[in-house]
Amino acid sequence: MGQVKVTVTVPQPEGVPTVEAQPQKVARMPFSASAISDNDGHFVLLKRVPPGSYKVHASRASGDNNPFMTLLDMKETEQRVEISLGQDRLQVNFNLGKR
């Protein structure tokens, strides 16, 4: 499906650990990037995505711009992905049902 907004963000932590509780963990900077897919469903992020774990989701970019439908699309398509050092491509498939 074309004209789909794809967003990549750092996942929210499940808890807020203290530095003393997990000294081996390094704090991650917030990251967010988005793009609109072409008519074939392909998209390119204009930002370089650092290695790590991310949340990616899609929502319809056109239509009535109902914020509730956008949130529903995002919830239904949310996926976790891992980006490794030097990785330049990732294939993600989203299933957006008809409304």
Per-residue pLDDT tens digits for 6-50: 999 998 776 555 444 444 554 566 889 999 999 988 999 998 999
- Averaged pLDDT score across all residues of the chain: 83
Work out whether strand 52-60 and strand 4-9 pair parallel, antiparallel, or are unpaired: antiparallel
Buried (b) or exposed (e) across 61-86, using 16+ Cβ within 10 A?
beeeeeeeeeeebeeebeeeeebeee
Copy the structure tokens of residue 36.
């609109």
pLDDT at 18: 44
Enter the pTM of the model.
Answer: 0.75
Residue with the bigger pLDDT between 24 and 99: it is: 99
20-29, 47-56, 58-67, 89-98: lowest mean pLDDT where? 20-29
